[in-house]
Amino acid sequence: MKKQISLSILAICLTFTFSFAQEKTPETIPQGEIFSSIQNVKIEGTTHSLKTKAGTLQLRDENNEPIALFGFTSYFKEEGPSKRPIIFSYNGGPGSSSYWLHMGVMGPKRVVVNDPDYTKAAPYTVVNNEYSILDMADVVMIDPVGTGLSIPIGKAKGEDFWGVDQDIRSISLFIVQFLKEYDRFQSPKYLLGESYGTFRNAGVMSSLLDKGIALNGVVMVSSVFDLRTLTFPVGDDTPYLVHFPSYATTAWYHDKLENKNPDLESFVEELRKFTEEEYMPALYRGSRLSLEDKAKMAQKLGQYTGLSKEYWMKADLRVKAEEFFNELMREEGKTVGRLDSRFVGINENLLNQSSTTDPQSDAISSAYTTGFLDYFHRELGVSKKLNYKTSAYSSPGFKWDWSHAGNMGWGTQTAINTGIDMASAMNKDPNVKVLIMNGYYDLATVFYGVENSIDHLGLRPEIRDNITMTYYEAGHMMYTHLPSLVKFKKDLADFIKDTSK
């Protein structure tokens, strides 16, 4: 009997000990993994040796809890504390990794594409990037969670990162932790984002300032701050107005205009004047606009855009971007690009009113994707067991939360606008400078929409003067066009020189 009781007690003790051990055994939290190499880039005859790290950093939240493995690739001239400028760079989407900028303009190598035509299949041309800014600054390419090698860890989930404010928070946390990890607090600091990356930039520059990190400069490539300018909401004429100059420059490029102005810049200035003084008042009158005046306006719109007067009349003087893509070259069985309207593709359905494909994306995506993955694994030495995600859209449950707290002093936002975050940061730090780079043939984030957003931030003249606008005869990824790539480097270099003193 005693033996049975003793065995029972022992069994209970062992069970309790096992259960206790199970409860107390901490979940294994993965650490970051770094792959180091030396990369070289030759710029203006000088070869620069770069200490390169590609991989992941274990990102911790405000309470020091691990929340993500955050993917990045960094290029440094020297290790340790440095006062050399450092640029944090990313693409947009939301949901895109940074490989477009990485292989287009920022890294030591670049993919050469057959701009503005279709690039043939492999072997692709990857060359030394003599137009990189790496001769003047260190670069960190960032891949937001769900892209690249970046994944949630610990108790974190994808939705903790997939949203306007969630994204701003995680990118800001990464930048601060990276500066600490690599002793770069004393470096002149920059952000460089493309597309949604500019929308992100506006929030991150405000978030970093709130954390005590002042930036020297912020570079916006193909910008959007006010989503209203892109979404064509019912009853809002703004997106139609701000898209019109880009329709006209596209028609100008494709020789769809009679007696066209031979100078693009003076033509653009003419478009601004026409839009503000004639087109805008006509749309504002709405149904009060007489049929006669409407017909006159449709005639002028047709002369500027290459679309017929009849088409503009049927559209009530309001043509959406996707309608324009299809209509401009419909009779030729073609459609123009959204990201870059210089690119032309086959229109698979001549009755289309909305686009089913983007010729620019079709023309260059394979070259960029394949060229980058080969470089990432073969030259940077990243393990081939790790899968690099070019997009977060393949991540289970990926859905973007478009709500944004913003600057509450502006009241409720009917359309998300991070321009107000940028304005707040610029008012609090009157030394920070902003460079906005625009493509005349970008129909994804139109240049006149950016101008409109900046003009409506209520900035004092001395703060508005801290914003520089540059323009390129190309589209969203202006750096695929060699003359624009050359200008891009010069404009960026001048900006860095001016702001890192």
The DSSP output letter for 317 is T
CATH topology of domain 34-228+366-499: Rossmann fold (3.40.50)
- Contact between residue 297 and residue 317 where contact means Cβ atoms under 8 Å apart: yes
Instruction: Say which residue the tokens 């969670």 belong to.
Output: 145
pLDDT at 3: 40
Residues counted in the chain: 501
pLDDT under 70: residue ranges of the chain:
1-27, 406-414
Query: Pairing mode, if any, of strands 344-346 and 334-336?
Result: antiparallel
Sign of CA dihedral 466, 472, 474, 478: negative
Distance CA 482, CA 367 (A): 16
pLDDT at 13: 42
| 334-387 residue pLDDT tens | 999 999 999 999 998 888 887 778 999 999 999 999 999 999 999 999 999 999
Phi and psi, residue 25, nearest 5°: -70, 115
- DSSP three-state, residue 275: helix
pLDDT at 409: 55
- Contact between residue 50 and residue 86 where contact means Cβ atoms under 8 Å apart: no
Structure tokens at 473: 């005869």
pLDDT at 414: 62
Distance CA 180, CA 57 (A): 12
Quickly count: other Cβ atoms within 10 Å of residue 144's Cβ: 30
CB under 8 A, 24+ apart: contacts of 79-83: 79/51, 79/182, 80/183, 81/183, 81/184, 81/186, 82/138, 82/183, 82/184, 82/186, 82/187, 83/186, 83/187, 83/188
pLDDT at 498: 97
Ranges in the chain annotated CATH 3.40.50.1820:
34-228+366-499
Distance CA 376, CA 397 (A): 27
The DSSP output letter for 480 is G
Quickly count: other Cβ atoms within 10 Å of residue 120's Cβ: 11
Quote the pTM value: 0.93
- Closest by CA to 459, choosing from 497, 422, 488, 406, is 422
R_g (Cα) of the chain, nearest Å: 26
Distance CA 303, CA 438 (A): 24
- DSSP three-state, residue 60: strand
pLDDT at 359: 96
pLDDT at 8: 44
For residue 417, the cross-strand partners are: 226
Structure tokens at 201: 């930039």
